[in-house]
Amino acid sequence: MRPDLDPEQLDRYSRHIIMDDVGPAGQAALLDTDVLVVGAGGLGSPALQYLAAAGIGRLGIVDDDTVERSNLQRQVIHADSDVGRPKVESARDFVADLNPDVTVDTHELRFSADNADLVDDYDIVVDASDNFATRFLVNDACTLAGVPFSHGAVFRFEGQVTTFTGDGPCYRCLFPKAPPAGTVPDCSTAGVLGVLPGTIGCLQATEVCKLALDYGDSLAGRLLAFDAGSMSVDEVPIEPNPDCPVCGDDPAIDDITEATYEGRCEL
């Protein structure tokens, strides 16, 4: 056993430690990993819950919103008593109660081009945002910084998840432009099955743990599309786009302050 895992940690993470593919060294790697979660809502809640339980040593949480009662149907780290509180504070307290090993950095702000250099301070990023502008910004910031990130999205009974590692296609290869405004309603308009973000957020947390452990095959280069209605999963290949403005042969974006992250997220 590694001496840097104390008796309480050996007990807490025992089901990891007895796994040949994790063991004490793998658990130590998880404890040494820093993860930034952009969004503490439907996707961020299960991702934070399971990353904290797994022993990810440092979690950064970015969100500028407060808890509303309508969030509680799916945002499982917040409680009725948290209504009106900043989500980053509620999330921080949840993680502290779950696992005292985890250090939490709260960033009560909207992820923007002005603060996107936050990704430089973390090993892995979880894109748990709920709008295309932020998704493009997370992609561009992480791709330019060489920081891998897990992307997730949900809509009614459908969800999708993939991982971008920086050595393959990026989110702009998959979605060159955001759909026109008003063509894709958000959850407040279209609704979402409450358990669905849990499914997708857990898959994102799984991808993060695998990256931290350097184990298995990530979802890099492929998108999992999950349909809860038919309980089916489709896999869609993601091909690199040589004309991608971020990771293509002649990238047009080398500074995120040069791009516009509103509307259709064009250059």
**Phi, psi (degrees; rounded to nearest 5) at 227:** -115, 110
Catalytic residue among 142, 173, 187, 247: 187
Query: Does residue 187 have an active-site annotation?
Result: yes
HSE value, Cβ hemisphere, 13 Å, CA-based, for 155: 9
Q: Are 151 and 134 in contact (CB under 8 A)?
A: no
> Are β-strands 232-237 and 222-227 bridged in parallel, bridged antiparallel, or unpaired?
antiparallel
Q: Are 222 and 183 in contact (CB under 8 A)?
A: no
Element (H, E) at 54: helix 44-54
Closest alpha carbon to 194 in 225, 159, 224, 163: 159
Closest alpha carbon to 103 in 70, 165, 138, 60: 60
Residues that are catalytic:
187
